[in-house]
Structure 1
Amino acid sequence: MSRSDPIRVNYFDALEKTERVADRLFYVAAALSIISLFVDKSTPVLYDVVLTVFAITVLGLFGVGLAVRLYLTPRAEDGRRRDFFGSACGVNLSHQQTDGYYNNEFTDPIKRMAAQVFENSHFSKAIARRMARTERIKFGVYAALWLACLIYRRMDIGIVVAASQAVFSEQVVSKLIRLEWLRTRFETTYETMYNLFQSKPAKAQFSAITLDTLSMYESAKSNAAVTLSSKLFGEMNDELSKEWEQIKAVLKMQT
């Protein structure tokens, strides 16, 4: 299914690139924190260089993290919301509009909004599941190394502390927990919307459930602060689009 998504190109791509920079800075800082333990303090020049680079890396990670949380993520999500509501209500809230991103035939704003939340959750839960596989493997490797450091009695306590700091950081354990939580929220959103279109309740109830579920979906993304992979979206797009067409046919989602 052909899609044009300037929101992702202009906003989310920059967000993902900056997040990759943050990940690299984290790995550099983690490595330097361990290297500093082995540098001979009797060579102060080398020791000072390692600590200086470590300090700069930590400050860089702090600055990049603030940029992601307070500027790039809100900017991207604001753009996505404008496109979402503009598409649902048939108005242009921005000059940057997606084409073929939302695929349903409803003309009523609430029904169209419900279908868009349904479609979003269908894609989001699948991508989050795939991302979680990678994060579980990464966590498993880090956890195994950390346990090895902890169990080996001759291991320097400084290395154990440095390893603990890396494993229980925002880029490893915290990210996995937030991603798993977000995945369950996407799955809940999907099931709620599926049951909504299947049961076809009265208009007032349909509207209330739609708005409540939309709020839950958006708040979950905001609280988790996890950006879904555009690479996986591209790889899974055709398959998920076919599944979406099948879902619409089964539920008879027509105007």
Structure 2
Amino acid sequence: MSRSDPIRVNYYNALECAENIANVLFYFGAVISIASIFVTKERLPGLYGVIMVAFAVTVLSIFIVGVSVRLYFFPRAEDNRRREFFGKAYNVSLIHEKTDGYYNNDQVEPVRRIAAQVLENSWFSKSIALRILRLERAKVVIYFMAWFVCVYWRSADFGLILAVSQAVFSEQVIAKYIRLEWLRSRCEDTYDRTRNLFNSCASDASFNAMAMELCSFYETSKSNAAITFPSSTFMKMNHSLSEEWGRIRIDLNI
């Protein structure tokens, strides 16, 4: 079976690129912020001026890229993914770019197909989030250790403590880690509840209502977390997760 995902290529790759630029700018700004503590205006006025200008440009660039990610790249990618998602469920064409080899289930009724697709998506999302968190948890521990050393190092400059604290408790470090943990938890909850729904003896009306609620739960979780999974991680795990998804389908008879 051929597998292709033009939506990831055309939209999520651009989003991932923009987020990588924001991350580079953030770490560059953190380095400049710390460097400004050791380069004084009195001793090295020329270098100090360069650092201040670079810092100002970096802050402005982070703002512009951040707004672009939140208000353009992320919504554009998610909107097109949802169009393709619901188009697959109802067997209509809402977008000309279509995935091939994904959303594999034998359900015929549209709402049951939506439930099966939510189950598949949440299975992939929770597994990928857990893999990414292995590294993120280690990074957070290292960041906290660095912050702890700065805070309790008696001879540490107060400006250095503030610079390190700003970096550690920023959107790109702690806040992103918390959002990723939250998204993992919500995806696991979605998967478990959707799997239980297929195992239940709910009436058609109850099944349809719960399926749509779970779809909304999953989609709002993604939107609120605003986390983009790296394409490299997805590609590494895609084969094994697809094989496991095949076994899940057989087990649930979907």
What TM-score do you get using the length of structure 2 for normalisation?
0.98
Counterpart residue identity of residue 6, structure 1? P
Q: Which residue does 1:4 correspond to in 2?
A: 4
Q: Distance in 2 between matches of 1:246 and 1:201?
A: 23
Question: Is this contact kept in 2: 1:127–1:229, CA < 8 A?
Answer: no
Q: Which residue does 1:110 correspond to in 2?
A: 111
Question: Deviations 1:138-195 (Å, cap 9, x if unpaired)?
Answer: 1111111110001110000000000000000000000000000000000000001110
Question: Deviations 1:27-61 (Å, cap 9, x if unpaired)?
Answer: 00000000001113122221110000011001101
Q: Which residue does 2:25 correspond to in 1?
A: 25
* Counterpart check, 1:189 vs 2:190: yes
Q: Distance in 2 between matches of 1:200 and 1:88?
A: 22
Q: Distance in 2 between matches of 1:93 and 1:196?
A: 27
Query: Aligned-pair distance for 1:2?
Result: 3.4
Counterpart residue identity of residue 28, structure 1? F
Q: Which residue does 1:133 correspond to in 2?
A: 134
Name the % identity. 54
Q: Distance in 2 between matches of 1:144 and 1:206?
A: 48
Q: Distance in 1 between matches of 2:136 and 2:91?
A: 39
Root-mean-square deviation (CA, aligned residues, Å) is 0.9
Question: Is this contact kept in 2: 1:12–1:76, CA < 8 A?
Answer: yes
Q: Which residue does 2:173 correspond to in 1?
A: 172
Q: Which residue does 1:209 correspond to in 2?
A: 210
Q: Distance in 2 between matches of 1:200 and 1:159?
A: 61
Query: Aligned-pair distance for 1:107?
Result: 1.7
Q: Which residue does 2:51 correspond to in 1?
A: 50
Q: Distance in 1 between matches of 2:173 and 2:58?
A: 18
Q: Distance in 2 between matches of 1:10 and 1:107?
A: 29
SS of the equivalent of 1:3 reads coil
* Counterpart check, 1:35 vs 2:73: no
Query: Aligned-pair distance for 1:231?
Result: 1.2
Q: Which residue does 2:90 correspond to in 1?
A: 89
Q: Distance in 2 between matches of 1:108 and 1:161?
A: 57
Q: Which residue does 1:16 correspond to in 2?
A: 16
Q: Distance in 2 between matches of 1:64 and 1:22?
A: 6
Counterpart residue identity of residue 148, structure 1? V
Query: Aligned-pair distance for 1:131?
Result: 1.1
SS of the equivalent of 1:104 reads coil
Query: Aligned-pair distance for 1:68?
Result: 0.2
| Unmatched tracts of structure 2, length 5 or more | none
Counterpart residue identity of residue 98, structure 1? T
Q: Is the deviation greater in 68-77 or in 44-53?
A: 44-53
Query: Aligned-pair distance for 1:200?
Result: 3.6
User: How many positions carry a matched residue from both structures?
Assistant: 253
Q: Distance in 2 between matches of 1:149 and 1:247?
A: 49
Question: Is this contact kept in 2: 1:22–1:65, CA < 8 A?
Answer: yes
Q: Distance in 2 between matches of 1:40 and 1:112?
A: 64
Q: Distance in 2 between matches of 1:230 and 1:214?
A: 23
Q: Distance in 1 between matches of 2:19 and 2:138?
A: 19
Q: Is the deviation greater in 199-208 or in 184-193?
A: 199-208
Question: Deviations 1:66-111 (Å, cap 9, x if unpaired)?
Answer: 0000000000000000000000000000111111121111121011
Counterpart residue identity of residue 158, structure 1? G
Q: Which residue does 1:149 correspond to in 2?
A: 150
Q: Distance in 1 between matches of 2:232 and 2:104?
A: 21
SS of the equivalent of 1:78 reads helix
Q: Distance in 2 between matches of 1:128 and 1:76?
A: 18
Q: Distance in 1 between matches of 2:173 and 2:152?
A: 21
SS of the equivalent of 2:216 reads helix
Query: Aligned-pair distance for 1:251?
Result: 1.3
Q: Which residue does 1:78 correspond to in 2?
A: 79
